[in-house]
Amino acid sequence: MTHEWLDRWREGRIGFHRHDVHPALARHWPRLGVRPGTKVLVPLCGKSLDMRWLAHRDHPVLGIELAEEAIEQFVAEGTADVSRYQQEPFAICRQGSVELWCGDFFHFHIDQAAEIGAFYDRAALIALPPATRQRYAFHLAQLIPPGAKGLLITLARTLGDETAGPPFQVTADEVRELFEPNFQVTHLEDGESEEGSGFRESVWALARRGPSI
């Protein structure tokens, strides 16, 4: 799967990338009550413009992305100076208040997550095959401190093979199964299914519960 993502970026097969800010982020983030200044973790971030939206609202952003191409494209599309440094095994690229960590999300360690106080997942969970999603939910719970909140956007298929992907369908039952052990899970909305897209999005607010994991 790792190589497939790198191939996609190299070949420009990035249909998942949006050229605008996700409307559900703009609509729901302000209602989560995450304080300005809180650092937001964006796992499997691609070169999402949502990170700039969060940064403009005074949130330092820490994105984690496997593909160097994605990170280079993100900073090339920005205007601020870029600084680069290393925190093994990640190569980090900082532009303004957005830090992009190039490497595998599952290698990102709790010690590196010290300042994180919120998260945003659009097309991260649904990029992962079923067996990896449990690992993702557990890893996220390890990185997020009690009380921290996040927004999660999932997809359900309205057409075609329900097991195909990426993107993978993640049902409401699965969201609850994956996250309820460690998060309070609130369903916020089901989006419209865009004509012919074959998908319907769902938006969730998650709040990390006490220390048990």
Ligand X SMILES: C[S@@+](CC[C@H](N)C(=O)[O-])C[C@H]1O[C@@H](n2cnc3c(N)ncnc32)[C@H](O)[C@@H]1O
Binding-site sequence positions for S-adenosyl-L-methionine: 9, 44, 65, 122
| Residue 104 in contact with ligand X, rule: CB under 6 A | yes
Q: Which of 45, 137, 140, 152 binds ligand X (CB under 6 A)?
A: 45
Interface pattern 118-157 for ligand X (x via CB under 6 A):
----xxx--x------------------------------
Report the alpha-carbon angle 103-109-84, nearest 5.
Answer: 45
Distances in whole angstroms, Cα of residue 155 to Cα of each of 71, 132, 134, 152, 187: 25, 16, 17, 10, 13
Task: Kindly give the pairing relationship between strand 183-193 and strand 199-208.
Answer: antiparallel
Place of tokens 């010290």: 114
The CA distance from 132 to 162, in Å, is 17
Q: In the complex with ligand X, which residue's Cβ is closer, 112 or 209?
A: 112
Q: How many residues bind ligand X (CB under 6 A)?
A: 19
State the nearest-atom distance from the C-beta of 125 to ligand X, in Å: 10
3-state secondary structure of 64: strand
Applying CB under 6 A, the residues found at the interface with ligand X are 5, 16-17, 44-46, 48, 64-67, 70, 104-106, 122-124, 127
